[in-house]
Amino acid sequence: MTEKTIAQLRARVNEINRQLLDLLAARGALVREIGQVKESKALDAFDPVREGEQLAALVAANPGPFSDATIKRLFTEIFRASLDLMTGERDRRLRVSRAARDADTVFQIGDVTVGAAPLLVAGPCSIESEAQLDATAAHLASRGVKILRGGAHKPRTSPYSFQGIGDVGYRWLGETARRHGMIAISEVMDDKAVAAAAPWVDILQIGARNMSNFRLLEAAREVGKPVLLKRGSAATYEELLLAAEYLIAGTDRIILCERGIRTFEPWTRNTLDISAVPILRGASHLPVCVDVSHAAGRKDILAALARAALAAGANLLMVEVHPAPEFALSDARQQLDFGEFDEFCRDIADLCPLCTAG
């Protein structure tokens, strides 16, 4: 075969490449139009039955010389790119997306700035008494912590576990936080809890179990308070952002929270998905929090996880602190006592300078 013949063949390949590119562009335009029709009719973008039928028909019509497996692989990639085109168009219209607002969302709650320098959110898993809260808040405030957490109602897997002290916990938390110059955050589980918490709590927390409780999202939205939204244990990034989209109609003071996902690994309570931090910060303008306590379920690796989260770009860290964790009514293994919290602060001080160990 002469060099001239090779040049001619390569020229023909280049011509076909351009034809394929034009055909892909035409296909993409049709896919985008199909996506718009599906969205208008509230239909799912992905149709696995149709995709399977298309692949089977293409393999059956394969004239060679590519193998059936190669044809299937090539068209699977085309189908995947088409789905990305359809869903990407939707994502770009989300008000929580980076495309809707390029600048990071930064907001004030009292004298606390959320979304700028890293912040610590700390406090007991469950509110057990006013004395417990006051002792914890006093220690945390002396270490520079500005956001006090505590659970008044606790959604528990076992119905026999401690379920929380009830609505009075919201008042105790709010009064304690104000007494120590802090702001308060606590979980709400239904619309009644939202109403009970709103007068006392500065940030409403929607837990992982309720991320897809859309009626609760709507109730929280109506109050207009800042919301910390935790990612469900099996939720995708897209599902978390769509849950946040329910909230943003009432407030853009939303914090996305990664708290670990469920995997097969039993050595931690959950598996902390560090990749969630840069991905969510790239996809959304909202600040991102990492709850290291619920991710780990153990104290010995909290500082390492916190450093990883801050290095990845987390705006906030959440950690559980209790005066006497061994006597805690819930999640005793993952809560730090005051000395352990001070050591935790020293371990992350170079990445989170607002928190000091005294």
| DSSP run (H or E) holding 113 | strand 112-114
What pLDDT is recorded for position 44? 75
What pLDDT is recorded for position 37? 87
What pLDDT is recorded for position 204? 98
The helix/strand/coil state of 121 is strand
CA dihedral 136, 140, 141, 147 (to 10 degrees): -90
- The end-to-end CA distance of the chain, in Å, is 80
The 3 state secondary structure assigned to 14-74 is HHHHHHHHHHHHHHHHHHHHHHHHHHHCCCCCCCHHHHHHHHHHHHHCCCCCCCHHHHHHH
Burial 61-76 (b: 16+ CB within 10 A, else e): eeeeeeeeeebbeeee
Contact 105, 112 (CB under 8 A): no
* pLDDT (tens place) for every residue of the chain, 358 residues total: 556 688 888 999 999 999 999 999 999 999 888 888 887 887 877 777 888 889 899 999 999 999 999 999 999 999 888 888 887 665 557 899 998 899 999 999 999 999 999 999 999 999 999 999 999 999 999 999 999 999 999 877 778 777 789 999 999 999 999 999 999 999 999 999 999 999 999 999 999 999 999 999 999 999 999 999 999 999 999 999 999 999 998 889 999 999 999 999 999 999 999 999 999 999 999 999 999 999 999 999 999 999 999 999 999 999 999 999 999 898 889 999 999 999 999 999 999 887 777 6
- Domains in the chain: boundaries: 3-92, 107-348
- Could you say which DSSP state residue 205 is in? E
CATH topology of domain 3-92: Chorismate Mutase Domain, subunit A (1.20.59)
Q: How many Cβ atoms are within 10 Å of 10's Cβ, its own excluded?
A: 10
Contact 285, 103 (CB under 8 A): yes
- What's the rounded Cα separation, in Å, for the pair 79 and 47? 11
- Conformation bin of residue 12: beta by default, left when phi > 0, alpha when psi is -120 to 50: alpha
CATH of domain 107-348: 3.20.20.70
What pLDDT is recorded for position 157? 74
Residue closest to 289 by CA, chosen among 319, 262, 330? 319
- What's the rounded Cα separation, in Å, for the pair 300 and 148? 22
What pLDDT is recorded for position 249? 83
What pLDDT is recorded for position 6? 86
Residue closest to 322 by CA, chosen among 309, 310, 332, 314? 332
What pLDDT is recorded for position 90? 59
Residue 205: φ, ψ to 5°: -105, 130
Residue closest to 209 by CA, chosen among 240, 241, 232, 186? 232
Contact 146, 183 (CB under 8 A): yes
Per-state percent for the chain, helix, strand, coil, to nearest 5: 50, 15, 40
What pLDDT is recorded for position 91? 56
What pLDDT is recorded for position 358? 60
**Radius of gyration for the chain, computed over Cα atoms and rounded to the nearest angstrom:** 25
- Conformation bin of residue 299: beta by default, left when phi > 0, alpha when psi is -120 to 50: alpha
